Amino acid sequence: MGRPQFKDPAVRAALYHAIDKQAIIDALYYGLPTPTETYMPQQSFYYNPDLPKHEFSLEKAKAVLDGAGWVAGGDGVRAKDGVKLAFTCSTTAGNHIREQAQQFIQQSFKDIGVEMTISNRPSCGATTG
């Protein structure tokens, strides 16, 4: 949230609309997990089943960004007040499921004018050589 792109709540809402959680679950996890709106396990006392449900919609994501003044440039990446809607996403290198999920999300973000660069790194305990 410290980056200028993410300070705008419209950006955060649009990015969430652009993530097709069900497609990721179906394609990468064989349809087994149940989509959820929180990191809390459904078995937890603190799990809240009444959170607003996620709605995947690239059109809604684009409309939210348009309404907030994020305009696509010649390269297709949106910008506002001199700030490009571009960022880097990292996870543990070699975790194929996470890497594939990143690729799904990267494509969806590109479709709404957001540039997400993937730059994965080895885990802290990884050795090279």
Query: pLDDT by residue (tens digit) across 106-119?
Result: 999 999 999 999 99
Superfamily of chain region 4-118: Dipeptide-binding Protein; Domain 3 (3.10.105.10)
Question: Per-residue b/e over 85-121, b at no fewer than 16 CB within 10 Å?
Answer: bbeeeebeeeeeeeeebbebbbebbeebbbbbeeeee
For 60-117, give the DSSP string.
HHHHHHHHTT-EE-TTS-EEETTEESEEEE--BTT-HHHHHHHHHHHHHHHHTT-EEE
* Percent residues over pLDDT 90 in the chain: 86
* pLDDT (mean) for 77-96: 95
Q: Would you state the pLDDT for residue 125?
A: 66
Identify the band that residue 123 occupies on the pLDDT scale cut at 50, 70 and 90: confident
Domain boundary assignment for the chain: 4-118
Q: Would you state the pLDDT for residue 1?
A: 80
